[in-house]
Amino acid sequence: MLKKPNNWENVKAATERETLPKGGYVVKILDAKTITYGTAPNTFDKLEISLDIVEGDFKDFYANDYRAQMQEDKKWKGILRQYTPKDDGSEKDEWTKSSFKAMTEAIEESNTGYHFDWDEAHTKGKIVGCLFRSEEWEYNGKTGFATHAFKFVSADNIRQGKFKMPKDKLLANAVSHTDSANGGFEEISGLNDLPF
């Protein structure tokens, strides 16, 4: 006969995680910070923007996902990672500048009276549209697809369905960071168990 574990009545049963369909969603920026990657002299910065969906059938998707995670090292999955310009005059940097400007303009268009002032902390609480694409992954010999934040657009364009979906990102078609320069954003009041 099996032995019943202690505290069995309070154990949460593991469930399959819900998957976010690729598409366009209206999101709220919960947090934004600049992170440096690499080792000197080959470093680069990304603006990492934590976000959650605030309208539609998938409202609070990332907050719900965070709460449902069973492991001790929970991770917030709603992140758009945007390369920041180096201002080094290179062709790659010109592309990064262009995509960064598209991001800031999307936030400005979505928030009447807001003007991006180069302090990423001031984006917290702003509403914006976000395109989420499907990205292929490989881990320990297994592959699959996950949906990730890719690019900000006007919130009204999302609401009106006026947007073009980006292509899926496949492993076989790996691209440089300048080709995928739009890519992660986090504040939900009253949700004290969240990481921010």
Q: What is the pLDDT of residue 191?
A: 41
- For residue 172, how many other CB atoms are within 10 A of its CB? 5
Task: Give the CA distances from residue 139 to residues 14, 62, 75, 79, 174, in Å, rounded to whole numbers and listed in that order.
Answer: 21, 22, 17, 20, 16
Burial of residue 5 (CB within 10 Å: 0-12, 13-18, 19+) is: exposed
pLDDT in tens, 6-41: 888 876 665 566 789 999 999 999 999 999 999 888
pLDDT in tens, 140-187: 889 889 999 999 999 999 999 999 999 999 987 444 333 443 333 322
Residue with the larger pLDDT of the pair 81 and 193: 81
Residue 46 has pLDDT above 50, yes or no: yes
